[in-house]
Amino acid sequence: MTVTIGMLIGWRDIARVAAGETLALSPAAWGRIDNASRIIERIVETGIRAYGINTGVGALSDTVVDRNSQSRLSRNIVLSHACGVGDLLAGREVRAIIAAQVANFAHGHSGVRSDIIRHLTAFLEHDCVPDVPSRGSAGYLTHNAHTALVLIGEGSASVAGKRMNGRDALDAIGLAPLVLGAKEGLSLVNGTACATGLASVALARANHLLDWADAVAALTLEACGCQMAAFDETVLALRPSRGIAHVGASLRRRLEGSGLIAAAHAKRTQDALSLRSVPHAHGAARDVFDNASDVVDRELASVTDNPAVSGTPENPVVSSEAHAVAPALAQASDSLAIALAQISAMSERRMDRLVNPLISNLPPFLASDAGSNSGFMIAQYTAAALSNENRRLAAPASTDGGVTSGLQEDFLAHPTAAANKLLSVIDNAEYIVAIELMAAAQAHDFLASTAKRANATDAIHRAVRQVVPHYADDHPLAADIEALRSFIRQEAPPELI
């Protein structure tokens, strides 16, 4: 499958490319790119002073660079900005960044030649993934520079999983190193493609995780004999929220026809909040997710290069602005990280209710032979540790400070840090939800003779048992956690009936 950029694409399109689809541009998009490139050529010919085209960058913005040095300036920008550190980003994340960068260039306000876009789309087509360190970016510059290195035959990359230097990577996919022209170095390190690409991947993963969180919660609610009156449609409508309504409807459908729920009817006036407020917490996360989705789509619809070029080759306009700064994107990623941290904290609390012999009415710690077996006692510790780590990660990156480039860049929004942090929260949340799912399935094993499950929750239970067995302290539990986490990352919850 191929994603085609015409006028606008959204985060779902970026996520599709990240997952392996290719990227193409419409004739109109190529026309916009060529027009902007001709504008840059005209500015170079006339010598009009323009930031990043014939001047230095950042605090050197008033230093004029002569025409003979402008190509060297572009190359030097890439080399000097490629100073990321730490573990490499995953291939899925790098592909998303490249796709977002091509989308930005396709607006036709950057001025890069079409050759650069053709090289970048060839990276996607031939699975050429530049080595991009995950850390060291206050905004966007370092991550983008490491991708740009490969365009000029520097740096390193993996081609179809085989790692090699940048020049060999280009040769492997039938390309030659590019010699960058005026402004191209700045455009390649500029803009919000990094944070936008990472946020698009995070949205795809979060959307999948939220579906699983609802499904797993239903299995736990049934095992706990929840009071369904709290999830009545008219009751939930007293607090208007699309997210609450969605989650409430999901729980009602999944638990319809449950003998376990029927047997528990009216046994309590109300359940603990980790059970009773599932629609509220999960629904709030869905509302935050919808807002974050809108923000990322607006980012993809925006020109995020500085400067932006417009007009015509005969009447060029160069606008120095701050579109490469993305406070809204940072705040959206921070908000979703907070929401998912809360979802995972609630999941850990529900899991504790299943294993805690003081309140569960189930075998202590869901052990087959309590005493000689510990069951899920320490799995709850793991969930609690990950939940606490998510609480720390939920501290906002968008309020971090920092002054760079000799006071020229004296405000930093940190969207890339926020997106990276969000991905880490999702990593932990997937594990926590997987642990709850494992415990809920174990609880249902003990309840099998009590009453029948709902059809929808029975489908979830059967899916779990196809991945991991009932646990009897007969093998390391870590292997089951990893297996279920992989399962919920790759597969959607069983269809609602």
Write out the catalytic residue numbers: 51
Task: Report the relative pairing of strands 156-159 and 128-130 from DSSP bridges.
Answer: antiparallel
Do 111 and 40 contact (CB within 8 A), yes or no?
Answer: yes
DSSP string, 192-226: SHHHHHHHHHHHHHHHHHHHHHHHHHHHHHHHTT-
> How is residue 402 written in tokens?
């920092």
What is the C-alpha separation between 103 and 124, in angstroms, rounded?
13
Question: What would the 3-class secondary structure string for 104-123 be?
Answer: HHCCCCCCCCHHHHHHHHHH
Q: Measure Cα distances from 32 to 109, 447, 487 in Å.
A: 8, 64, 43
Question: Which residues in 90-194 belong to E strands, given as ranges?
Answer: 128-130, 133-135, 156-159, 162-165
Percentages helix, strand, coil for the chain, rounded to the nearest 5?
60, 10, 35
Residues with Cβ within 8 Å of residue 49, at least 6 apart in sequence: 55, 64
| Phi-psi map region of 32: left, alpha, beta (phi>0 left; psi -120 to 50 alpha) | alpha
Closest to 153 in 3D by CA, of 190, 183, 128, 124: 128
End-to-end CA distance of the chain: 30
- Which SS3 state, helix, strand or coil, does residue 31 take? helix
Using CA atoms, how far apart are residues 425 and 107, in angstroms rounded to an integer?
Answer: 32
Q: How far apart are CA 161 and CA 151, in angstroms?
A: 18
Q: For residue 442, which of 323, 355, 325, 316 has the smallest C-alpha distance?
A: 355
* Rounded Cα gap, residues 451 and 370, in angstroms: 23
Question: Using the 8-state DSSP alphabet, how is residue 138 labeled?
Answer: S
